[in-house]
Every structure is written in structure tokens, then in C-alpha cells.
């Protein structure tokens, strides 16, 4: 599965002890449901059953959702892309009106599309507005109303989305109250799209269960990060040398930033500073941001994510077309990819940029399920170590209030 294959410096005993205590405190909390999702069989079985039902009805799934209602599912689909897909999944997660209407009006398969509306609170203004626009477009185009081909994923209490679903007879899947939106990928939020796409849900579940047993790995990753904070490395760069993890980096960015970027600790005092997360992809970003990382301020700590399969695939080059390419004779593209990853890390370390490397053999349902849970546990552990509430987002809510005031004027 996943392992730390390299780190610039070993974990200090103080950082490791703090991480171990913090992970233990995190796991003892009864108010956090994300760690218990793998054992909640009803969520997995209901998601699987609904996905199987929808695969018989439609070949296209369109998921409407913002932030944690979309990013996890997108990351899962891209990580585990099927090149011979029979069912497709799209995620609509922005209200850029120009792009949205061009996309909607260009669709020729409206009758073969099922719509999934995801909002934990049930009142996310962007998501509900998209749903209203789609319903209006379906009616004006001569199709049945949205409720005839929709599924809702939300908390199941009394909220606007659930009231609509009950009134219209729309099927609904549950986001548990004790699971925050950005921690919900292993709930129906991610499981329904995954099942519709044809992924093995039990593989995701097995990977997440494995991660929950890896206390040493989680503590080491948290300790390395706490040490980077002590060194005042205020940018954590998640550099994945696997193209399948491109969208995963965006999910990590939200998880890290919303959870750890807090003004106050749990006592109401000024919170410790946390780093800003930035995702990157190798070797593409060697040609974009590497220069700044290499010779800019020493305020960065890198997580390299490597996948052995990405460094082994493909045949050896039998004939060079270009006279500068003799070095690649009898080499594979995978060997080039691996050399770039190793060389980038080594060059950065020579410049004093510190890093760790997390490695897996391949991207499959088990490793992706594990990676989701690993990052959630690390972020939760860091929250405990920093004595902050890693499970709210007051800064985000402030902007929503102002936006609603502007619209109501």
C-alpha cells in the first residue's frame, strides 16, 4: 500500500510523540464520523444499490455540488479513470454562467442523463441555483422535470433540498451529521458516482480500513509536517509524480486549507500558523514552479507522491529519431518519469529544501481509498496537535452571508 520511502530528516522524538498523542486523541473522539465510515455498511450498500439501479437507467451522471460535495468524487474518478468506460460522470461545481449555459445547451443526451444534487446542508445557494436552472431548461426543452431523473445526497433532516426531494418523490442518500463535507468522500458523496462509473466500492472500503490501522505512518507524516511548521516552512507542496493524482491535489488543497487555516484555537486564543497547501504534478510542474521552489525563499516543505506503476509502464524505445535522444535508447518513458522524480527531489535537497516521499505500487481502488483516509487522519491529527477546530470553516461562512445580503438588496 502506501509507505514513506524517503524523508530528508528523520522525525524528532518530540514531534513524533506529539503526533502520536494527537492521533490517539483524534481517534478517541466520538463526534467525528469520517473515521467510522468504513464500518457503516448501510451507507456502502445503499450507494451500491442506487448506483446499480442508475446504471440501468442512464449512461451519463451529472453531479451538482460545491467544494467537498464535488472535489473528492472528481479526484476519485480521475485517479481511477477507465479507458473503456461505458458510463460517464461529470462534476458541475461552479456558477460561471457563461460556461454553465454553454455546457447545458450543448448537451445532446439530456434524456440519458441522471442528475445528482449534493449539499450537506441542503441550502447551498450555488448548488440549488444550478438545479433550478437545469429544471427550467429540461422543461423548456420538452423533457420531464428534474425530479423525474434525480437523486439527492444530503443530511436527512429538514432542509430545503430534502423538503423538495420528499415532495417530489426523489430518491435520497444520507450524509451523516457527524461527517463534515470535506471529509465526506467515502460516504455516498463519493460512493454513488464511483459505483455508477463502475469502480469497486469494496476496494475503496478495504483501503480506508487499512489506513485506519496505520498509526505509525500517520504519526510520522504528521510529525514531519509539524517539524516543517517549526522551521517556518509556510507552503506545503503536494507534488504528485502520477498524473492520476492531478485532481487529488485539488481535494487535498481544500481539506488542508479549510481545516488548518484558523484564526482562533479552541480556547479562543490566537491559533498557531499552518501552511498554505499547493498541489503540483510532475514532471509538468518542473517546467512551471520548480525554479521558484529551487531558488526562492526556503519556506516550502514538499510531499512527493510516487506510484511505481507510473515509472514502469511502456516499452523501451528501440530507435531514436533525434540525435540528442541517445540517452533514451532502450529506456522506457516510465524510467524517464522515475528519473525526473528522483532527480528533482535530490536537486532540491542539495539546495536545502526538505521533503518526504510517499510511495505506492499502483493506483487502484484500495490505494485511493487508503490515500483519502491517510490525508484525513493526518489533517485531523494536526488539528489536535495545534488545538484548533479542524472541522469548521467560519471564514467561508462569512463570505456566504455577505453574498446573500448583496442578492437580497
What is the fold of 3-30+205-395? Rossmann fold (3.40.50)
Q: State the CB neighbour count (10 A cutoff) for residue 405.
A: 9
Domain chopping of the chain, boundaries: 3-30+205-395, 34-202
Q: Does domain 34-202 have CATH number 3.30.70.330?
A: no
pLDDT 10s per residue in the chain (409 long)?
999 999 999 999 999 999 999 999 999 999 999 999 999 999 999 999 999 999 999 999 999 999 999 999 999 999 999 998 999 999 999 999 999 999 999 998 899 999 999 999 999 999 999 999 999 999 999 999 999 999 999 999 899 999 999 999 999 999 999 999 999 999 999 999 999 999 999 999 999 999 999 999 999 999 999 999 999 999 999 999 999 999 999 999 999 999 999 999 999 999 999 999 999 999 999 999 999 999 999 999 999 999 999 999 899 999 999 999 999 999 999 999 999 999 999 999 999 999 999 999 999 999 999 999 999 999 999 999 999 999 998 887 777 788 888 878 8
How buried is 269 (Cβ within 10 angstroms: 0-12 exposed, 13-18 middle, 19+ buried)?
exposed
Q: Give yes or no on whether 3-30+205-395 and 34-202 have one common fold.
A: yes
* CB neighbour list of residue 24: distance below 8 Å, 6 or more residues apart: none
Amino acid at each position: 500500500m502506501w509507505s514513506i520511502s524517503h524523508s530528508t530528516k528523520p522525525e524528532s522524538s518530540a514531534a513524533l510523540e506529539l503526533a502520536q498523542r494527537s492521533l490517539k486523541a483524534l481517534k478517541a473522539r466520538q463526534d467525528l464520523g469520517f473515521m467510522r465510515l468504513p464500518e457503516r455498511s448501510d451507507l456502502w450498500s445503499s450507494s451500491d444499490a442506487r448506483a446499480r439501479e442508475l446504471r440501468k437507467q442512464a449512461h451519463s451522471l451529472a453531479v451538482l455540488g460545491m467544494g467537498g460535495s464535488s472535489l473528492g468524487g472528481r479526484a476519485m474518478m480521475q485517479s481511477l479513470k477507465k479507458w473503456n468506460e461505458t458510463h460517464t460522470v461529470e462534476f458541475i461545481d461552479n456558477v460561471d454562467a457563461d460556461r454553465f449555459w454553454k455546457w447545458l445547451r450543448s448537451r445532446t443526451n439530456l434524456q440519458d442523463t441522471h442528475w445528482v444534487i449534493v449539499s450537506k446542508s441542503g441550502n447551498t445557494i450555488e448548488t440549488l441555483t444550478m438545479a433550478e436552472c437545469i429544471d427550467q431548461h429540461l422543461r423548456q426543452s420538452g423533457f420531464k422535470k428534474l425530479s423525474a431523473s434525480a437523486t439527492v445526497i444530503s443530511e436527512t433532516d429538514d432542509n430545503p433540498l430534502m423538503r423538495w426531494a420528499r415532495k417530489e418523490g426523489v430518491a435520497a442518500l444520507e450524509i451523516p451529521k457527524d461527517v463534515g463535507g470535506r471529509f465526506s468522500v467515502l460516504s455516498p458523496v463519493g460512493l454513488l458516482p464511483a459505483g455508477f462509473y463502475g469502480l469497486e466500492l469494496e476496494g475503496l472500503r478495504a483501503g480506508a480500513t487499512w489506513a485506519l490501522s496505520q498509526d505509525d505512518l500517520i504519526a510520522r507524516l504528521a510529525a514531519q509536517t509539524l517539524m516543517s511548521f517549526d522551521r517556518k516552512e509556510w507552503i506545503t507542496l503536494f507534488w504528485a509524480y502520477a498524473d492520476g493524482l492531478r485532481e487529488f491535489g485539488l481535494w487535498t488543497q481544500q481539506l488542508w486549507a479549510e481545516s488548518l487555516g484558523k484564526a482562533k484555537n479552541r480556547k479562543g486564543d490566537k491559533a498557531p500558523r499552518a501552511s498554505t497547501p499547493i498541489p503540483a504534478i510532475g514532471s509538468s510542474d518542473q517546467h512551471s514552479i520548480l525554479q521558484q521552489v529551487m531558488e526562492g525563499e526556503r519556506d516550502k516543505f514538499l510531499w512527493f507522491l510516487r506510484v511505481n506503476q507510473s515509472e514502469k509502464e511502456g516499452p523501451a524505445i528501440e530507435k531514436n529519431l533525434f540525435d540528442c535522444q541517445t540517452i533514451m535508447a532502450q529506456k522506457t518513458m516510465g524510467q524517464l518519469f522515475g528519473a525526473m522524480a528522483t532527480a528533482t527531489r535530490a536537486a532540491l535537497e542539495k539546495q536545502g529544501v526538505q521533503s518526504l516521499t510517499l510511495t505506492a505500487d499502483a493506483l487502484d481502488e484500495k490505494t485511493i481509498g487508503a490515500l483519502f483516509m491517510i490525508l484525513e487522519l493526518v489533517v485531523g491529527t494536526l488539528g489536535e496537535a495545534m488545538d484548533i477546530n479542524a472541522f469548521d470553516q467560519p471564514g467561508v461562512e462569512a463570505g456566504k452571508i455577505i453574498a446573500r445580503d448583496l442578492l437580497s438588496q
